Amino acid sequence: MKKSTPQNLPYSGVSKFVGRDDDLETLHKQLQAGTTVAISAIAGMGGIGKTELAWHYADFHAKAETYPGGVCWLKAREDVGLQIIAFARSHLDLKPPDEGELVDRVQWCWRHWQDGATLLILDDVQTYDDIRSLLPRSESRFKVLLTTRSRFGSPVKTHEIKVLSEAASLDLLRSLVSDGRVDQDLATAKRVCDWLGYLPLGLELVGRYLARKKGTSIAKLWERLQEKRLAAQALLKTETSMTASLGVTAAFELSWQELNEDAQQLAALLSLFALAEIPWGLVQGCLPEADEEALDDLRDEQLVNLSLLSYEREGIYQLHQLLREFFRTKIGELERKPLKTALATVLIKVAKQIPQDPTLEVIKSVTLAIPHLQEVAEDLSKLGSRADLFIQDDDDLFWAFVGIGRFYQGQGFYAEAEPWYRNCLAVVRSLLGESHPGVVSSLNNLAGLYHVQGRYEEAEPLYLQALQLQRSLLGESHPDVATSLNNLAELYRAQGRYEEAEPLYLQALQLQRSLLGESHPFVATSLNNLAALYRAQGRYEAAEPLYLQALQLRRSLLGESHPSVAMSLNNLAVLYANQGRLTDAEPLLVQALERYQRLLGHQHPDTVMMRQSLEYLRQVMGKTQDEG
């Protein structure tokens, strides 16, 4: 009679194993490769399901009799050598010597092991050196599978497993909660899965919690998770039938205790970033005194090596949702504020680099920083008083919001920009008072957004408030007052209120010339705006020299590769088109369009409008030629 595969697999109460078919296949291929002992390691953060994956691989192949020499399960945190000897005695009927060094007795077992391919699983290995001397020396029939939170070099082949997909996460919940509650409130179930970061341990814990609590809805579970976070009962209590013996926090604590103090401090800082990809340059900016190589070592040898931080690609890292939550619980109140100050300082510096009309290059350079800037802005929004501010300069408060607003507005995403400008105004008023210059800037920014959207009735009172406040704070002779006059005049021109607009334009231009001199970008803006008014009134001869002056100034001050130069070219082209000078207009419009496409992209609203203008101009030119 054929003997079944000798094995000592622990009991697993998992009713359904989901989402790991590709991992099982990859592991098997790794273990079959090579002419010596094949060693593969399942690596990943605590709770990712390393042990569960190893168990299912071992169970499947024990039943398939892939390893007739035996499937031996070993707990790496206990005495591995004694476990190997015990398996040899109880499952293989071997009689290892009772005397001598443990390593020699274990090697005797390998030499006398029964024939056939053999699978050894060492669960929860901390360091490879702990087990190296106890492994088989050379025979390729021995296949060694490790589970670990660390990463080992050669000869170990690492297979890092990721979190589950949303579909697999929901399937896991359904397998544990079989009464239909998951699908009765599928939207909330998806939110639960997302908040748990699709971590198998978290999903299994909440699924078993719901199975025990027949009267608890998914919505009530969600409410408790949001209230108590990692301290929620659903994430703490394991069951004896589970492969995992620890709750989420306890599983993370094992890795936390292996970090040195500097690595723990770094983890605390990382937890203050948004739940998004983290450019390492931002982290370095938060720790300017740290040695760059030493900081890299903390990251790589501790956080990444222990699967507490994920390497995404060159210079980019990411924290798992629940690890971020866990690290935040480790920050004391005294150290929280300086960490938040360091992060805000770096990100506000990024925000200040975003101009009012950002180019594609600027947008690309700041995109990865935006979620983290939003995290800072949201933290600032929650402050109750000026004393709670964690930024170094009060004037920087509004930059956290304005940078985000400009990022979105500069791409034509007006709906996304609006809440940041509105929050900016509310927060600056609340924390700095009604008479702070930041209130003026916030009023102008929000009004400007409404202006470009054609929401003139909402923009006007904001512009008027800004002008009145600026005059009271700065007096009549200040460049910022000229800017406010220009803004209001622009609004009136857009509404066709030309007689009200002209004196404001003239006041602004006179102020800027007297305060800033003739060669300043603001003077160019005022010239351009006054010319636009004259063009709208049909006063083409008065408009042309102003447009030409504005174009010349912008070219000399800003360079050819600036959106304002492209806009000046466009404005002059439109003027020529209005005069019927179509052949003069076309080359200018082509130049403007080329610049806009390169600087702002093909889909930017201004680029689309300019492209349509050029198409229309050429249609008119074609008709004119046909008529001729």
pTM: 0.83
**Cβ neighbours around 400 below 10 Å, total:** 27
Residues 6+ apart with CB under 8 A from 307: 43, 44, 45, 46, 48, 149, 150, 151, 160, 255
> Tokens standing for 186?
């599928």
Query: Taking residues 513-523, what's their average pLDDT?
Result: 91
Structural tokens at position 91: 């499952």
Banded pLDDT at 231 (limits 50, 70, 90) = very high
Contacts of 179 (CB under 8 A, 6+ apart): 214
In which residue are the tokens 């050669």 written? 154
CA distances from 225 to 205, 218, 343 (A): 12, 11, 27
* pLDDT exceeds cutoff 60 at 436: yes
Helices 521-536, 540-558: crossing angle, 10 deg rounding: 160
Q: Are 352 and 399 in contact (CB under 8 A)?
A: yes
For residues 76, 78, 81, 85, the Cα torsion angle rounded to the nearest 10 degrees is -110
Mark out the alpha helices in 271-369 (DSSP H runs): 280-286, 292-297, 321-329, 333-351, 360-366
Question: Is residue 320 very low, low, confident or very high in pLDDT (cuts 50, 70, 90)?
Answer: very high
Q: CA–CA separation, 108 vs 136, rounded Å?
A: 10
Task: Please write down the HEC assignment for all residues of 243-299.
Answer: CCCCCHHHHHHHHHCCCCHHHHHHHHHHCCCCCCCEEHHHHHHHCCCCCHHHHHHHH
| 404 SS3 class | helix
Percentage of the chain beyond pLDDT 90 is 72
Residue 286 in contact with residue 269, Cβ under 8 Å?
Answer: yes
Between 270 and 17, whose confidence is greater? 270
pLDDT reported for residue 1: 41
**Confidence bin at 12 (pLDDT 50/70/90):** confident
What is the rounded end-to-end Cα distance, in angstroms, of the chain? 103
Q: Mean pLDDT throughout 592-608?
A: 86
pLDDT recorded at residue 15: 61
DSSP annotation of 7: B
Write the DSSP symbol of residue 135: S
Per-residue pLDDT band for 228 (boundaries 50, 70, 90) equals very high
> According to the model, what pLDDT value does residue 601 have?
85
pLDDT category at 247 given cuts 50, 70, 90 is: confident
Q: Are 169 and 16 in contact (CB under 8 A)?
A: no
Q: Return the H-helix or E-strand segment holding 531.
A: helix 521-536
Residue at 242: amino acid letter: M
DSSP three-state, residue 601: coil
Best-predicted range by mean pLDDT among 286-290, 557-561, 612-616? Answer: 286-290
List of residues 6+ apart from 12 with CB closer than 8 A: 52, 55, 56, 59, 241, 243
For residue 625, name the pLDDT band (cuts at 50, 70, 90).
Answer: low
What average pLDDT does range 138-165 have in this prediction? 90
Residue 461 parent element (H or E):
helix 456-474
Q: Alpha-carbon distance 477 to 495, whole Å?
A: 27
pLDDT single digits (tens) 374-406: 999 999 999 989 988 999 888 899 999 999 999
Tokens 């399901």 locate to 49
What does pLDDT average to over the chain?
Answer: 91
pLDDT at 555: 92
My answer on whether omega of the bond before 545 falls inside 30° of 0, hence cis, is: no
Phi and psi at residue 413, in whole multiples of 5°?
Answer: -90, 75
Q: Two tokens at 291?
A: 């040695």
**Mean local confidence (pLDDT), 577-597:** 89
| Residue type for position 408 | Y
Judged against a pLDDT cut of 50, whether residue 155 lies above it is answered with yes
pLDDT given for residue 111 in this prediction: 94
Please determine, for residue 356, whether its predicted confidence score (pLDDT) is greater than 70: yes
Q: At what angle do helices 166-176 and 186-195 cross, to 10 degrees?
A: 110
Question: Does position 628 have pLDDT exceeding 50, yes or no?
Answer: no
Question: Residue 556 pLDDT > 60, yes or no?
Answer: yes
Q: What is the mean pLDDT of residues 57-71?
A: 94
β-pairing verdict for 157-160 and 278-279: unpaired
Mean pLDDT of 188-198: 95
